[in-house]
Amino acid sequence: MNQRENFFAMIEGKKPEFIPNMMEVYKMCVFGTGITDSPLQGGLDPFGVNWIVTKEGAIPEPNKFMFDDIADWKEYVKFPNLDTLGIEAAAKIEMADFTPGEQVVNAFSVCGLFERLAAFMGFENALCSLVEDPESCREFFEAFADYKMAIHNRFIDVYQPDMITYFDDLATANGLFMSPKVYREVIKPSHQRIIEGVTSRGVIFTQHTCGKCEEIVGDYVEMGAKMWSSAQISNDLEGIMEKYQGRLIVEGGWDTSGPVSYNGASTEAVIAEAVRCANQYGKYGNFILMPILMNENGNSMLVGDPRLAPMLEVWHTVEKIA
């Protein structure tokens, strides 16, 4: 099996030949979301929010909020006209050298419902709004879900992706930002529409949520997500893999912010972490390795890391599933 065939065996709940790793299994498509959601090189997004580039990715300019009170959102939020953004041209450039058939086409869709609210009004205001004015939040999320769904439809038309990875960070390393009850009452209804919009077009929906979010992973599965990244080790990964075998692929497993990802960690230590992931998670048949090293140099996915190449060489000797 090639990467694509092996991946689809997993999606269909069959036994894969090997454990995929995110560095090789995907053709990642990011130009579209760079236009519609968060500029990759920083600057203003189509809503007028300014993004600052850091080594670990772009973030909204701190302390510069569009509004403080969620009840005012309609006065400030003007949804962009997707026809004017140049999504088609960007996709054409990004897919120019791509040969179909080998990899899984994965179109990124960053800045989900909660992240967008936080980009507009700051993290603290956004979180308090969920509790203080859930009705206005729900109204905003419904409108923003319409925008996201329109984007996804456009991405599906221009990229013809196998999968859309939707990013919405809802948790710290210790737990969710908000209670599962608040998530379910305020965010989930619009989240569900976004997921159904993707799956109804025959495209795989991947939910990206960092941190310890295991309390709502079941909600993701129930709504139709087939994958969850960046499954970090603060969650009970083995329990989740076992529970959702054949229904959910778990992408992550790497100790992203632990000593093995430090700048001073040896190549041998990085290789040992890959072997640990293969041994610990590979047997479940629904695991994809996500080897992200976060250290002084930044996110290895964005800035690279010389230890990853030798790690991959060894990975290819341990990735086979017995």
**Which spans of this chain sit near another protein (rule: CB under 8 A)?**
52, 54-56, 59, 61-63, 123-124, 127-128, 130-132, 172-179, 182, 257, 261-262, 294-298
To another protein, the closest distance from the beta carbon of 257 in angstroms equals 6
Please say which residue, 55 or 201, places its beta carbon nearer to another protein: 55
Q: How far apart are CA 276 and CA 254, in angstroms?
A: 9
To another protein, the closest distance from the beta carbon of 53 in angstroms equals 10
To another protein, the closest distance from the beta carbon of 136 in angstroms equals 16
Structure tokens at 125: 């205001």
Label residue 318 exposed, middle or buried (CB < 10 Å: 0-12, 13-18, 19+).
Answer: middle
Q: How far apart are CA 309 and CA 85, in angstroms?
A: 37
Nearest to 248 by CA among 216, 201, 212, 210: 216
Please say which residue, 305 or 319, places its beta carbon nearer to another protein: 305
Characterize 125-135 residue by residue with b for buried, 16 or more Cβ atoms within 10 angstroms of its Cβ, and e for exposed.
bbbebbeebbe
Non-local (6+) Cβ contacts of 256 within 8 A are 230, 232, 233, 292, 293, 294
To another protein, the closest distance from the beta carbon of 274 in angstroms equals 19
Q: How far is CA 320 from CA 15, 288, 293, in A?
A: 11, 12, 23
Q: How far apart are CA 139 and CA 145, in angstroms?
A: 10
Phi/psi-derived region of residue 42, left when phi > 0, alpha when psi is between -120 and 50, beta in every other case: left
Please say which residue, 257 or 280, places its beta carbon nearer to another protein: 257
- Contact between 221 and 244 under an 8 Å Cβ cutoff? The reply is yes
Please say which residue, 1 or 173, places its beta carbon nearer to another protein: 173
Please say which residue, 46 or 298, places its beta carbon nearer to another protein: 298
Please say which residue, 41 or 63, places its beta carbon nearer to another protein: 63
Non-local (6+) Cβ contacts of 5 within 8 A are none
Q: How far apart are CA 152 and CA 216, in angstroms?
A: 23
To another protein, the closest distance from the beta carbon of 105 in angstroms equals 31
To another protein, the closest distance from the beta carbon of 177 in angstroms equals 5
To another protein, the closest distance from the beta carbon of 319 in angstroms equals 27
Please say which residue, 8 or 67, places its beta carbon nearer to another protein: 67
To another protein, the closest distance from the beta carbon of 141 in angstroms equals 16
Please say which residue, 84 or 174, places its beta carbon nearer to another protein: 174
